Amino acid sequence: MSADEDVLYGLYDDDISIIKEWTKATAVTHTFFGIHATLYFIAAYLLINQGIRNNKSRLFLFICSTIMFLTSIAYMCVYNEYVQLNWELLLITPPDIEIKQRNLQIVTNCLLRLNFMLSDAIVVWRAWALFKDEARVQWGLISCLAVSYVGTIIDIVLLVLVYMLVLEDVPEYSLIMTIPLLLTNVIATAAIGYKTWGYKKMVGDLLRQAKRMTATELTMLLLVESGAIYCIIWALTLASALGVMPDTVTSLLLEVLCIIAGLYPTLVVIIVALQKSVIDSVAYSSGGSDVLPTSAPASLPSKSVPAYIPYQQTMQISTTGANSFTGANSYADNKLEKAESTSSTGRRSPQDFSFA
């Protein structure tokens, strides 16, 4: 430091810049943690309210969401301890400072990668459940998850060895975790998007006149959109690993990535649970017919439009349509017959789109 450099309250300009960066990062990280905490309690309430003892899927989602939330809590505790230690370094040099920093960094990175692994498990499981009768797709998703897990575990081992000074810097392994995780999320999101397109194509003509989306279609669209946003975040992480992003952006992104990794699958759990709640409420209000009435012009006969049509039922509507669709016009009947004839040719097999 030069003798004529300005000093404010015993802090140099570089120190003030560092403090500003810490303050911004701390504020953003705690904001995302608050959002994650809110979403977790909503998800836990919905899952418990629907029952988790007799449903393995909901039990799996509840356990994963809880572990990710506890991991985020542990991450925030370690993060705050690390920030406090850095504040102390501005004034004094505590004993064994290097050992403390190393241990905190190891724990932080391990917690970060634990949330990555649990997040991918939920995302892949959600896509896997949509392809119940397609073993090749399911094995493909499982293979992607396995590759991402192997890459993450290798990355953790290399990271610990670097911090323990067993290895020198190993930059060539910096993408061994990021690329598999990004590809896994892209493939899972694309699989959900494909099913969404197929579902919309099968029932879109039937419900076009109602000018509304079914609960299943809305749920799947939300899953695709949220998955696309999460993939964009991972693409930014990949750009940061390649050194494309500014250092300040890279640092902030890596600090909030653990919370985001737990926040996104928790949001997926809420979307799925809310869709199940909508289906239950519709079935209750309509006496189990799962049909919502819609208003129609005075010149046309009133009709009922299903609020929830699984893919599996689109092939059966033509035989039971008289019970569910009252006053349906010939246009809808033709579309139903076309859907049934398409199924009989074997070109399309019914798939269950239910998230229950």
List, in order, residues 6 or more apart from 248 with CB less than 8 Å away: 21
Within a domain: residue 241? yes
For residue 147, what are the domain limits?
A: 13-285
**What is the mean pLDDT for each group of 10 consecutive residues in the chain (356 residues)?**
50 73 86 93 90 85 91 92 81 76 88 90 86 88 93 89 76 74 91 84 65 68 83 84 78 84 86 66 42 33 38 39 39 44 41 37
Within a domain: residue 161? yes
Give the bridge partners for 306, in sequence order. 291
DSSP 192-235: HHHHHHHHHHHHHHHHGGGT---HHHHHHHHHHHHHHHHHHHHH
Rounded Cα distance between 210 and 300, Å, is 13
Within a domain: residue 142? yes
Rounded Cα distance between 353 and 220, Å, is 9
Element (H, E) at 349: none
- pLDDT at residue number 206: 64
Within a domain: residue 191? yes
- pLDDT at residue number 276: 64
- What total number of domains does the chain contain? 1
Within a domain: residue 157? yes
- pLDDT at residue number 340: 44
User: Residue type at 54?
Assistant: N
Within a domain: residue 310? no
Rounded Cα distance between 184 and 150, Å, is 12
Within a domain: residue 103? yes
Within a domain: residue 346? no
- pLDDT at residue number 352: 38
| Structure tokens given for 157 | 């081992």
Rounded Cα distance between 93 and 75, Å, is 24
Do 129 and 143 touch, CB atoms closer than 8 A? no
Neighbours of 63 (CB within 10 A): 13
- The CATH number of residue 247's host domain is 1.20.1070
- pLDDT at residue number 205: 63
